[in-house]
Amino acid sequence: MNEKDALAHAYSLFQQGNFAAAYAHLQPWAQSITAPPTLLHLAGAAAAATGVHPDAVRWLRRASAAIPDDLAISYKLARVLVDAGQPQEALALYLQLIADGVKHADVYTAAAVLLHESGRDEEALQTLQHALQLAPDAANNWYLLSVLQARLRRLPDTIDSVQHAIALAPDQIHFHRDLALALHALHRNAEALPVIERARDMQPASAVLWTAHAAILSRLGRYEDAIASSEHALQLDPAHADAKVNLALTLLTLGQMERAWPLYEARWQGALADPARHQGMPRWSGKEQVRDKRILLWAEQGFGDTIQFSRYALAVAAVAGEVVLEVPAELAQLMTTLTGGAGVGEGGSILIVERGDTLPPADYQLPLMSTPLILTTRLDNIPAQTAYLQADPIKQAHWQAALGARQRPRIGIVCAGNGGNQRDAMRSLPLAAFAPLFTQIDADFYLLQPALRQSDYAYLQQAKVPALHWPGRELQAFDDTAALIAELDLVISVDTAVAHLAGAMGVPVWILLSEMVDWRWFLHRNDSPWYPSARLWRQQQAGDWDELIARVKAALPDALKSGSAS
C-alpha cells in the first residue's frame, strides 16, 4: 500500500469513528520525515481522538511547520495543546493567530476561554467581544460574556448578556439560572424569582436550582417557603452543601439556632468554599476533656464576624487549659483586651496570635464560628451579659487629651463598610444622608472610618460642617478605633465591623439596617441578644435610608438627654 492509499484508508476509518485503527494505520507513515502535512494532520487528529496527546502534538507541530498559514491545522494544534495540559502554549498560538489577522470567531472564543482560565478576565472580555462581532448569534458566547462580566462585578452588563443568550437559546437551563443569580446579586429578587422558577420547572430534579430558589425566597422575606425549598433540595441531594448552608442561614435569621448550627458546618464543602485551615490538628468536638489542653480557635471570616464570635474564646477558656486565638493582624492588638464578662467564669488563659505568625503547639483546633455549635448556643443563652473588649488605656488617654473637655454629646458615625462585600450595596449609604443629624443635632460627630469613598470625601470637603470631624489616618487599626469609641456617648453605624466593636465594648450603638438584614440581627426586633448596648433601626421600605435617618434624628435628642441611647 502506498502513502496515498494509506491516507485514504485511514481517513475512511476516521470517518467511521474508528480512531484507534486510523491512528494505528497512520502511525508508521507519520514517522517518515517526508510525510506530507495532510497525513500528519490526520495522524494528529486520530491520535488526539484516541487520547495519545503527546503524539498528537508532535504530528500537528510538524504539519503546522510545513503549512504555517493553514488555519485548520493551527486551530487543531491549539486545541490539542489544551488537552495535553499545555494551555499557555495553546493561548500563545491563538493570540498569534489573532495577531496575524485571522477573522474566525472560534479562535477568538477559544482564546477568551484560556485568558479567563489564566485570570486575565479583562482581556478575555475584550477578546470575546471580537468573537461576537464575527458571530453575533452565538448564544454560548453571549453566555460566556455574561460569566466574564459577573467575574468583573459588572452585573447590569451580565444581565443584558445572559438575556441575549436566552433570546437565542431559550432551552438552556443554566442561562436562566445565571440570570436569576445575577438579579439576586443585584438584590432584584422579585425579578429573579420567576426566572429561577422557570429554570427549576425545566429541571425539577436539580438540587442546585432548588437551592437558588431558596436563597431568593429568603431575600424576599418568604422564610418558610425558603426552608421548604432548601429541604426539597436536600431530599434530592442529601449532601448538597450550599443547600445546607442556605437552610442554616434562614433558620438562624428565624432564631432557630439548635437546628441551624449543625447545618452551618457545611460551609466548608460548598462549591466556592475556602479550604479549612489547620486540618493537620484534631478538631475539638466538645466531648474531649480539655482542662489541661491547649485549643486553637481561628478566625475564618470578616472582621465583624471575628469580633462578634471572639466572645466564645472566653467560654472555651473557661473549660480549657489555654486558648490560642488566631486573628487577622488588624485585630490582634484589640483582641489582647479580650477579658472578663460574656457570662463565663474563671478559666485558662488566652493567647492572641496574628494569622501567619508561628503558632504554639495545640492539642485541638476549632474554627471560631463553629464554637456556638460546640457550646450549644441558643437564642436564650447567647453569652452577652457584659462587654468583652476594652480600649487600650494609653490610646484612650490620647483621645481624652485630643478631644478636651466634653462640651456636648459625642457621636461616632460609620456610613459605609468594605466596598468589596457582596452585601455592600444594601448596607452602605452616602455620608451626605446623615446631613440632617450633622446640621440639626447639637453634638460633635466623629467619622470612625480610616478611609472614605470618593463621594463621601467630596461631601466632607464641600459641606464643611463644623460639628463633623474625621480622624482619618489616626484610625489605623481596630484598637485605635476602640480608644476613640471609649470617649463617645453613642455610635451610629451601618452593619459593619465597627458596629460589632462598639457592641462588644458595651458602648451604646445604633445599627442602621437595610430591609434585607444579615441573619445575626434576626427579625422584627429593635434590640440585639448579641449586644445589650445595641439598638437596631430597620428600613421600613427597601432602599429608603432617608426615612430611617429621619426617625433616628427624631429620637436622638431625648436619648442623649436621658442617657438611654441603648
Q: Domain coordinates of the chain in residue numbers?
A: 3-223, 294-374, 393-562
Helix (H, G, I), strand (E, B) or coil at 534: strand
Predicted pLDDT at 564: 64
**Span 196-255, pLDDT tens digits:** 999 999 999 999 999 999 999 999 999 999 999 999 999 999 999 999 999 999 999 999
Helix axes 478-485, 393-403, angle to 10 degrees: 50
- Do 324 and 351 form a contact (C-beta atoms < 8 A)? yes
- Whole-angstrom Cα distance, residue 304 to residue 309? 9
The pLDDT tens digits of the residues spanning 121-177 come to 999 999 999 999 999 999 999 999 999 999 998 999 999 999 999 999 999 999 999
Neighbours of 105 (CB within 10 A): 17
pLDDT in the model for residue 481: 97
Q: Do domains 3-223 and 393-562 have the same CATH topology?
A: no
The grid cell for 34 is 517526508
Measured CA distances, 216 to 60, 183, 187, 200, 425 (Å): 50, 10, 9, 13, 17
Residue type (1 letter), 521: W
Instruction: Please compute the mean of the pLDDT values over residues 31-56 and round it to a whole number.
Output: 87
Q: Where are the alpha helices (DSSP H) in 16-120?
A: 19-30, 37-50, 53-66, 71-83, 87-99, 105-117
Report the pLDDT value the prediction gives residue 341, as an integer from 0 to 100: 40
CATH code for residues 3-223 = 1.25.40.10
No. of helices (H) and no. of strands (E), the chain = 27, 10
SS3 letters across 244-286: HHHHHHHHHHCCCHHHHHHHHHHHHCCCCCCCCCCCCCCECCC
Q: Say which residue, 299 or 71, is predicted with more confidence.
A: 299
User: In this structure, which amino acid lies at residue 81?
Assistant: L
pLDDT at 452 over 50: yes
Q: Tens digits of per-residue pLDDT, 399-429?
A: 999 999 888 999 999 999 877 666 777 889 9
How many other C-beta atoms are found inside a 10 Å radius of the C-beta of residue 119?
A: 9
Helix 19-30 crosses helix 3-15 at what angle (to 10 degrees)? 160
Residue 493 pLDDT more than 70?
A: yes
Grid coordinates 468589596 are at which residue? 420
Q: pLDDT digit string (tens) for 346-401?
A: 557 899 999 999 999 999 999 999 999 999 999 999 998 779 999 999 999 999 99
User: Rounded to 5 degrees, what are φ and ψ at 512?
Assistant: -90, 120
What superfamily in CATH does domain 393-562 come from? Glycogen Phosphorylase B; (3.40.50.2000)
> Three-state SS for 172?
coil
pTM of the model: 0.86
